[in-house]
Structure formats: structure tokens, C-alpha cells
Structure 1
């Protein structure tokens, strides 16, 4: 084989090799480009996420000794600052919710409990009252709904204080046989809140 033919065949092989690599790269690039869709970054506008937040609100307990040391009538009255509902991050986005109350009385006293939701001007927006039998009364549970199917959400949004008043409707001498004799109030809230 003459030298120029050998040189020509090497040149053609080199060109074909480079052309093959080039064509392979073009084919790969076309495959990648054809698999990519236009991205719609405006999807966030259509996103609807509604998480449910749950938290304790109040926990109070009193022993029967404390109740016996106060004359019949109110043995407990207290205002609690509570601005969590009125914070803009909550009040502007809350959709609905439930406040759950649980009361257990192991004292020998029939009791009355009243919770009042107050605004900044100390006006009562809402109240919940409970009459609790003396022990054994079991656990009283009440769910109060706010929003579409319940009380107005404006009550929750404008609450800045919660007032609790507990009244002894019995005597000041009896003692429960259950140990320890206590009255316990627990409350918690579960609310649906828009993310945006």
C-alpha cells in the first residue's frame, strides 16, 4: 500500500472517529433536550396546604385542702394573658378549629367552672361553663368548634385573655376518699391554618 493511501486511510479513520464522537454528543444532547419540559414555577400560586396545629392551652389543678381553706363560693379566679390567637401569623390564616376541655374532679365537692375569653378591652367574647359533680364524677370532656360549623372565628382571633373562675358548691369540711383529691382542668386547641 502506497504511503499516501495509508496516510489517507488514517486521516479518514481519525475524521470518522471524531465525527462519530461528535454525532454521539449531538444525539445525546437532542435526547436530553427532548426530555425536558418547560417548568412552571408559578405552581406555588395554586398550592393549597392546610396543616393542623395542636397545642395545650391551659392546665390547672387544685387540691381539696385548698378548696376547704376558702369559704364556700369562688375558691379560684385568675386572668391569663393569651395572645397566641391574636398573632397575625395565626389570626390572618386560621380556617377553623376545636378547643377541647377535660375536667376531672376527685374531690368531695360539687364544683362550677367558668372560662371566659376576653378581648383587649376586657369585654367577654365567649364563655364556657361546667357543672361538675362530686367524686366519683368521671372525666367530663367537651369539644367546642369554631369556624364554619361552630362559633365565630372572631372570638378566637380577638382573644387576648382567658379568665377562669372556680366555685365550690359544697361544704368546707368533707374530704374525698380518693387519693389525691384534686380538680384538674385541661384544655387544648386543634386549628387548621392556611400556609399562605
Structure 2
């Protein structure tokens, strides 16, 4: 009799546990899912020594390059771009005041936007600038329509002076973070 009582009790507990711990599955939850990955990438790197700057002469350009930027050339990607931040970091150990111009160009080569940096001569502090695109920043359409970047560097100083630094040069680093919505 005890054995029958334990069997009934055990069966009741098992049935109670299996029905109380389950819930009907809702596979429609994917409709509520929002995926917004952030993509971080380096954009470009420029370095020039003081001898190259002096060779260009006073008030002349010593660096010019156009960089392909097809990150958003697919319409699917461009439409899902929510926001972005481009970071610039410049170190100048030369004896020259310099101007760096970065232009964002569309497919036809027309400027969409421009960032201009005037960097003091040695000893200058590291210049850091972050530019936001999207809510609270510049238009996100600038990034979505950019096909290339043009980097120009001009010597605003003389063409003969030499810095007392061991290896005088200008270094420009640039990186970006972009936020996308995939759903």
C-alpha cells in the first residue's frame, strides 16, 4: 500500500513539474528584434617628414591624395546607416604651421563636406577632433553619399627652418565608427 501511495505521489509531482515549468513558445519574437551593430575601422594614415615639407616650399602643398571610400556604395548598406563618428588625431613635431584639408567627395568628385585643421608648429599638442554624423551631428547623407576622400596638406610656414626634434614630422590618423540597423 505504501508503495502504491509513493507511486501516485511521485507521478503527481512529475506531472506538476512538467506542466508548471513549461510555457508556450512564441516564435514571433524575431519581429521585435532590433540588431544595431557598430563597425569600427581605420580610414587613412598620413605621415610626412620636415624635409618633404621644406622641399615643397613656403605656402605650398606638400601632400595630396584621393582615397577610395566605397563603404556605403551598396544602397542596402547606405539605407541602414544610423549614425557615425569620424575621429582625427594629428601630431606635428615640425617647425611649420600646417593646414590639413579633408574633403568628402561624391561619385562625380563634387565636395559634400570639408574638415579643415590648422596645426601649430612644434611643439604642438596632439590635435584630436571627433565629428558626428546623424542625430545631433552633421547630415548622415554626407557619409552615405561619399565615394572618396581627398586629403590635402599645406605648409603655412617657411621652406627652410628645421625643428630641433629628433625626427620631425606630421602624422595624421583617422578612424571611424558607424552604427547600422540590420532589421
Scaled by the length of structure 1, the TM-score of the pair is 0.82
Instruction: State the number of aligned residues.
Output: 182
Three-state SS of the structure 2 residue aligned to 1:154 is: helix
The one-character-per-residue Cα deviations of 1:71-105 (angstroms, maximum 9, x if unpaired) are 33111111010111334464222211211111111
Flag structure 2 segments of 5+ consecutive residues without an equivalent: none
Q: 1:75 aligns with which of 62, 79, 92?
A: 62
Scaled by the length of structure 2, the TM-score of the pair is 0.88
Work out whether 1:190 is the aligned partner of 2:156. no
Alignment of 1:35-114 (within 5 A): 35-72=21-58, 73-88=60-75, 90-114=77-101
d(CA) in 2 for partners of 1:85, 1:92: 9
Residues 192 and 180 of structure 1, relative CA distance in 2, 3 Å threshold: same
Choose 1 or 2 for highest CA Rg.
1
RMSD of aligned C-alpha atoms? 2.2
Flag structure 1 segments of 5+ consecutive residues without an equivalent: 1-12
Moved over 4 A (4+): 16-27
**Range that drifts further, 141-150 or 52-61:** 52-61
d(CA) in 2 for partners of 1:36, 1:131: 66
